[in-house]
Amino acid sequence: MNTLAHKVRSSVAVSGTVLLLAAAGFGLAPAASADGSQPPMLAVATAAPAEVGLGGLPVAFTTKVANTGSYDTSSARLIYEVDGGAGLPPNAVSLQYRLSGTAWKTVPLTYADHKFSGEMPETFPLAAGKSRTVQLRIGVPMGTPHDGDTNGGTQQLKLTTFVSYGASGAATDRDDDTIKVDGLSTGLSGVPATVTAGGPAVSFEATVTNPTASRYENVTDTLITSRYASVQVLRSGTWKTLTPVTSNAEAEVYGFDVIGKDASLAAHSSTAAKVRVTYRKDAPTGKATLQPCAFVNEGSIPFRGTTFCGGQATLTVLAAGSTGSTPGGTPTPTASATPTASATPTPSTSPSTSTAAPSATSGTTSGTSGASSQLAKTGSGGTSTIAAAAGAFLLAGAGALGVVVLRRRTRA
């Protein structure tokens, strides 16, 4: 059990009472175990992981069951409850186990009242004075591969383990743990203050970081720009021009997959790409933005999946023929290498229907052009459209770029 956990013990004597699992819908234990012997005294201790990654792969942990009494049991049972708050959708949490061998098996979970609950399908015998450790792993996948959920988020999971015996649903002991939930972060560094329309490229670096204990798969780190931009990345010593990704709903918004599609990130790792951007000669002058967003399990619909966006970087597009940036992309003395971002509010696990979302705009002296201000329609069957506001942190609620930004941090 980790340091955040609070241990609650409830022992059962031969003629004592038991703790009723009312939330799980189980009944009281009989006076004797299923095999006719006296009831055992079972204790449980779960060493839950300290953290998992939202949208990442599951993290392993263990549950130890000890028979502290004088009587054997032929069927020790493990029951789990996971409370992630109101911000998680029904497909958010996964729980797996293995009693022996190498194959992981699923603990079926039921979602009700913002909680996931389920019982390990297999029981096991446990003699008096003996103990057994069960291997498990828990994750917050937020959907399935190439179908990441676009709604919801949380900062923590409250994991409760119950142990019982026989055919009844009564618990003889429980263990409570708290698991932190974090996610990917993205950022841009070294972005120059100005760029000339039709002029030389400006160079900078795009980074996506995995600070969690989860491994990530199917990660697509995307640079969101406008249709006036062209993006290249440095790969194996050669600058490669990227093909823009667009959404039918937002023709003005272009995305460029700077680390490639469906990349993997090990736990506690990061990856960076050297990027350079040019703007067409007819690009509107004024402010333009660059927005980094990492999509996990993005499917066939662009910009839709479990999403983490960093702070926007703003540069000024100068008129063709101007000399506001140094050839080769070296920042000018007035360059701002730190992306601009709004303040990060305190996260809430309650869904919101008015959340701001990332966008890419190309500015003019008289206004902006680019993404529209229409909010995305979210949900498993909805048609998504890109929202225009430049939110730096979203936890749950209405979608943007075809998604909701589920759990993201702004890295300045």
CATH number at residue 291: 2.60.40.10
What is the average pLDDT across 258-275? 96
State both tokens at 363: 């500015």
Q: Please name which of 142, 169, 137 lies closest in space to residue 60, comparing C-alpha atoms.
A: 137
Same domain, 190 and 169: no
> Between 241 and 249, whose confidence is greater?
241
Domain assignment present for 223: yes
Which helix (H) or strand (E) is 219 found in, with range? strand 216-226
What is the average pLDDT across 273-288? 97
Reply yes or no on whether the pLDDT at 23 is more than 50: no
Q: Assign 37 a pLDDT band (cuts: 50, 70, 90).
A: low
Same domain, 372 and 391: yes
How confident is the model at residue 210, as a pLDDT?
98
Q: Are 23 and 49 in contact (CB under 8 A)?
A: no
How confident is the model at residue 46, as a pLDDT?
98
Same domain, 152 and 256: no
Query: pLDDT > 70: what percent of the chain?
Result: 69
Structural domain span for residue 71: 6-181
How confident is the model at residue 150, as a pLDDT?
84
Same domain, 147 and 197: no
Least confident of 57-61, 83-87, 269-273, 399-403: 399-403
How confident is the model at residue 324, as a pLDDT?
56
Rounded CA-CA distance 229/214 in Å is 34
Sequence letter at residue 365 = T
Reply yes or no on whether the pLDDT at 220 is more than 50: yes
How confident is the model at residue 322, as a pLDDT?
77
Rounded CA-CA distance 95/81 in Å is 10
What is the average pLDDT across 144-172? 91
Domain assignment present for 312: yes
Q: Please name which of 76, 81, 63 lies closest in space to residue 25, comparing C-alpha atoms.
A: 81
Q: Please name which of 279, 308, 273 lies closest in space to residue 292, comparing C-alpha atoms.
A: 308
Domain assignment present for 62: yes
Q: Which of 130, 162, 181 finishes a domain?
A: 181
CA-to-CA separations, 15 to 18, 29, 39, 41, 295, in angstroms, rounded = 10, 11, 9, 11, 56
Q: Model confidence over 335-373: pLDDT tens digits?
A: 333 333 322 323 333 333 233 334 443 333 322 222 222
Q: Are 259 and 273 in contact (CB under 8 A)?
A: yes
Reply yes or no on whether the pLDDT at 218 is more than 50: yes
Same domain, 269 and 344: yes
Most confident of 19-23, 60-64, 346-350: 60-64
Q: Which of 166, 181, 196 finishes a domain?
A: 181
Domain assignment present for 380: yes
Q: Which of 181, 206, 226 finishes a domain?
A: 181
Prediction pTM value = 0.74
Which helix (H) or strand (E) is 264 found in, with range? strand 263-265
> Between 73 and 335, whose confidence is greater?
73
Domain assignment present for 253: yes
How confident is the model at residue 385, as a pLDDT?
30
Domain assignment present for 323: yes
How confident is the model at residue 116, as a pLDDT?
98
Same domain, 287 and 402: yes
Q: How would you classify the pairing of strands 115-119 and 110-112?
A: antiparallel
Same domain, 254 and 396: yes
Q: Please name which of 28, 8, 125 lies closest in space to residue 71, comparing C-alpha atoms.
A: 125
Same domain, 207 and 350: yes
Residues contacting 102, CB < 8 A, separation 6+:
none
What is the average pLDDT across 399-410? 33
Q: Which residues pair with 364 in a beta bridge?
A: 367
Reply yes or no on whether the pLDDT at 307 is more than 80: yes
Average pLDDT of the chain is 77
Same domain, 215 and 244: yes
Q: If you count DSSP H runs as helices and E runs as strands, how many of each does the chain have, helices first?
A: 0, 31
Same domain, 22 and 129: yes
How confident is the model at residue 78, as a pLDDT?
97
Domain assignment present for 1: no
Domains identified in the chain, total number: 2
Q: Assign 288 a pLDDT band (cuts: 50, 70, 90).
A: very high
Same domain, 95 and 134: yes
Rounded CA-CA distance 37/315 in Å is 76
Q: Model confidence over 83-102: pLDDT tens digits?
A: 999 999 999 999 999 999 99
Same domain, 232 and 171: no
Half-sphere exposure of 198 (CA within 13 A, CB side): 9
Domain assignment present for 39: yes
> Between 278 and 17, whose confidence is greater?
278
